[in-house]
Structure 1
Amino acid sequence: MFGGIKVGTLAGIPFFVNPSWFFVFAFVVYSLATSQLPLWVPNQAAWVYWPLGAFVALLFFGSLIAHELGHSLASLRYGIPVRAITLHLFGGVAQLGREVSRPSEEFWIAVAGPAVSVALSALFWGGNVLLGGALPTLAGAFGMVAMLNIGVVLFNLVPGFPLDGGRVLRSVVWGLTGNYRRATWIAATAGRLVGLVLIGLGIYLAISQNDLGSLWLALVGWFLVSLAKQSYQQAVVLDTLRKTPVSEAQVRLITVSGALTIDELFAGFISTTGRRFYLIEDADQPVGVVDAYELTRLPRHQWPITPILSLMKPIADIPQVSLSASAMSALDTLEEARTPLVRTVEDGKTIGIVSRTDLVQLMRHAHPSRA
């Protein structure tokens, strides 16, 4: 959802900064330097609050990264890959390689982030207490970071999806009812209500207090409403994939000889069947899969002399799923292996192929509705 500039890697997880983050960083520094820090660290020259504000902001956003890293490490513990962690306009997000498969996974992954923020708050408050006498300016900065982390915890534990509290709510309802879609609908509805309250509060404060900065609340509320709606739509799709056998998404493979040239494959098979993928046999053994689209990239004059065997994708390089598995299993395999294709197998024999396009077509039949 959020692209960005790669700034490093930790625990095998790449970190990115979305360009929108620089705007919110500047806004936070301005707010800290002009209104918050003068209260926490009084009697300083005005210029001191600007570098101090930048220092506090960096510690705060570093804390947000640690918060997301908490989610990420918990995800890895459950075998869920983490694609990236990105800082953006509204905070941070950990991009997981697949969705959770059990309520317990959802619960522990959700609470891991706030747990890290609580620990960081305690750490920074301890620094505030210890340094209060010797280095009051630094102590005040640490105290501010501690309070900001507590704010992150309180906000994220609001029971509205996609906030951490909303994910906890979904895990509890999911665990009690066994219904993933209904649990998501309840959590997402709560998330939309939270978003609408923030929109209303932001607009009210902007008008009644003549504080345009309060419109930030309205913007965050709009963001939550949008994400909650998208999250439920995604849940409907994923629930459909879990309940749909992969056989309904697959394209059965036609077996052809690897000795055929591209010309012969087009004349004898592609022109009559319209199929895109073919299983190639060599010495009566399946050895690979050829993609008709890829063949067309070769200059036309080479088609009569180029055997398809030389352009195939080796069958060992294509991940497999059981023909009895769900379409969700195929999607998880595609995501984890970062491959465009997965083959279906029955009794050790390759039966068909599933591409991302096949799954997209299947998902288009899933229409969001109330659970």
Structure 2
Amino acid sequence: MRQTLRFGRVAGIPVGAHWSALGIVALVVVALGSGVLATAAPGAGRTAYWVAGVVIGLLLMASLLAHELAHALTAKRCGMEVESVTLWALGGVTEFRDEARTPAGEVATAAAGPAASLLLSGLAFAVAAVLPPGVPRAAAAWLAMMNLILGVFNLLPGSPLDGGRVLHGLLWSRYGDRARADAGAARSGYGIGLALTFAGFMVIWVWSPLGGMWLVITGWYIAGAARSEILSRTARRGLGGVSVRDVMTATPDLAPAWLTVQGLVDTVVLGSHQSVFPVVGFDGAPLGVVSLESLLAVPAERRADTRVEALVMGQKPPRVLSPDDDAAALLERPSRTGGLRAVVVEGGLVTGMITDADLGRTLQQALLRPAAPV
């Protein structure tokens, strides 16, 4: 998930927030400042309610960040590489470069987030208990309750929730079969998502339209994410035994970084059937990627004096794979600009590329193959 705001790095991990997280903070501030705190602690001035609302809104974001950082730091201790931590509307996302190496590592990483939320909940309840009746006490109690809900909700045993990852680790440990654990955790998550969606519609009908809609959105997201995980695992099985060499487009047209945009268009693009082009430096190493859309975004009057390298400044280099790597690795990360999944490098030079279309074609072919006799 792309970060709209970047907060910096913690233990080398990029930390930031998607714009939707700011919307949730704004909703929390408005809800607390305009009604919730006035109901819980009547008699204080409007300024006190709104100031407390802003403080608690920021502390809630900090709580979500602590939840995700607990995942990330535990994962690092378990030998996993962490890509980033991003807050968004439904909480946070910790992106990993690889999967847990052991069931114990997966359980520890998954459980760390809810444990952090429950710990923060206990601390906030303790603060509320020692404060006299009033706005600060009501605000602390509200924050404690939100962290309690966050911790308990995330322990529900179904992917993509933390409890689903815990369940996955336990099933993996019990059966010694990661694929079987994948299927069990994803099916459980799909069922939980549908149940929450149904419960949300019931809440809308008999009690609170706003609260019910939130349940519907959350349940729908969980069910959709679990279904995507099921499809991803099916795709992974379909790519079993397939190498990157079998998927890639060989000897693709490349975009030399030193050319101008107009030079690239004239010498490469207009004679190519590709819609995306890996950008390479003088040494042949991949630096980034440009698509037809990104080239069209350069004004015509600037194409003659804009170099291709300027279009990829700030980009992360594309993912690099070897021709003999397992093609299932292509499913571990989303595609980049123009649907590029990876470039294939052999002997220090780009010898192939893989796009979403290449991967989709290979998966469809795998589904068309007759099943092996049992």
TM over 0.5: yes
Q: Which residue in the other structure is 2:277 paired with?
A: none
Q: Would you say 1:297 and 2:264 are equivalent positions?
A: yes
Distance in 2 (alpha carbons) for counterparts of 1:54 and 1:276:
55
* 1:206-285 correspondence runs (5 A): 206-209=204-207, 211-241=209-239, 243-244=240-241, 246=243, 249=246, 276-277=250-251
Q: Which residue in the other structure is 2:164 paired with?
A: 166
Distance in 2 (alpha carbons) for counterparts of 1:223 and 1:334:
18
* 1:131-170 correspondence runs (5 A): 132-133=131-132, 136-170=134-168
Shift of 1:343: 4.2
Distance in 2 (alpha carbons) for counterparts of 1:56 and 1:178:
44
Q: Which residue in the other structure is 2:297 paired with?
A: none
Q: Which residue in the other structure is 2:112 paired with?
A: 112
Q: Which amino acid aligns with 2:255?
A: E
Distance in 2 (alpha carbons) for counterparts of 1:125 and 1:354:
57
**Residues 339, 248 of structure 1: CA spacing in aligned structure 2 closer, same or farther, 3 A cutoff?**
closer
On the 8 A contact 1:160/1:188 being kept in 2, the answer is: yes
Distance in 2 (alpha carbons) for counterparts of 1:209 and 1:90:
22
**Residues 334, 57 of structure 1: CA spacing in aligned structure 2 closer, same or farther, 3 A cutoff?**
closer
Q: Which residue in the other structure is 1:258 paired with?
A: none
Report the more deviating stretch, 201-210 or 145-154: 201-210
Q: Which residue in the other structure is 2:372 paired with?
A: none
Q: Which amino acid aligns with 1:100?
A: A
For structure 2, the residue ranges without an aligned partner over 5 or more in a row are: 257-262, 269-280, 287-316, 368-374
On the 8 A contact 1:18/1:86 being kept in 2, the answer is: yes
On the 8 A contact 1:40/1:144 being kept in 2, the answer is: no
Q: Which amino acid aligns with 2:86?
A: T
Distance in 2 (alpha carbons) for counterparts of 1:173 and 1:365:
31
- TM-score, normalising length from structure 1? 0.70
Distance in 2 (alpha carbons) for counterparts of 1:106 and 1:239:
21
Count of paired positions: 312
Deviations 1:251-290 (A, max 9, x none): 6xxxxxxxxxxxxxxxxxxxxxxx843xxxxxxxxxxxxx
Q: Which residue in the other structure is 1:10 paired with?
A: 9
Distance in 1 (alpha carbons) for counterparts of 2:330 and 2:46:
59
Shift of 1:47: 4.2
Shift >4 Å, 4+ stretches:
298-301, 317-323, 328-335, 349-354, 358-367
Distance in 2 (alpha carbons) for counterparts of 1:319 and 1:214:
45
Q: Would you say 1:98 and 2:65 are equivalent positions?
A: no
**Residues 247, 20 of structure 1: CA spacing in aligned structure 2 closer, same or farther, 3 A cutoff?**
closer
Distance in 1 (alpha carbons) for counterparts of 2:6 and 2:80:
23
For structure 1, the residue ranges without an aligned partner over 5 or more in a row are: 252-274, 278-290, 302-309
On the 8 A contact 1:249/1:354 being kept in 2, the answer is: no
Distance in 2 (alpha carbons) for counterparts of 1:331 and 1:224:
20
Shift of 1:330: 7.7
Task: Please give the root-mean-square deviation of Cα atoms over the aligned residues, in Å.
Answer: 3.7
Shift of 1:247: 6.3
Larger radius of gyration: 1
On the 8 A contact 2:285/2:348 being kept in 1, the answer is: no
Give SS of 2:44's match: coil
Q: Which residue in the other structure is 2:311 paired with?
A: none
Q: Which amino acid aligns with 1:149?
A: N
Distance in 1 (alpha carbons) for counterparts of 2:331 and 2:180:
22
* 1:37-76 correspondence runs (5 A): 37-76=37-76
Q: Which amino acid aligns with 2:3?
A: G
Report the more deviating stretch, 228-237 or 146-155: 228-237
**Residues 108, 360 of structure 1: CA spacing in aligned structure 2 closer, same or farther, 3 A cutoff?**
farther
Q: Which residue in the other structure is 1:282 paired with?
A: none
Shift of 1:60: 1.1
| Percent identity of equivalent pairs | 28
Give SS of 1:225's match: helix
Give SS of 1:249's match: helix
Shift of 1:214: 1.8
Give SS of 1:297's match: helix
On the 8 A contact 2:33/2:50 being kept in 1, the answer is: yes
Q: Which amino acid aligns with 2:264?
A: R
Q: Which residue in the other structure is 1:200 paired with?
A: 198
Shift of 1:107: 1.2
On the 8 A contact 1:250/1:353 being kept in 2, the answer is: no
Report the more deviating stretch, 13-22 or 89-98: 13-22
On the 8 A contact 2:60/2:143 being kept in 1, the answer is: yes
On the 8 A contact 2:17/2:86 being kept in 1, the answer is: yes
Shift of 1:191: 1.3
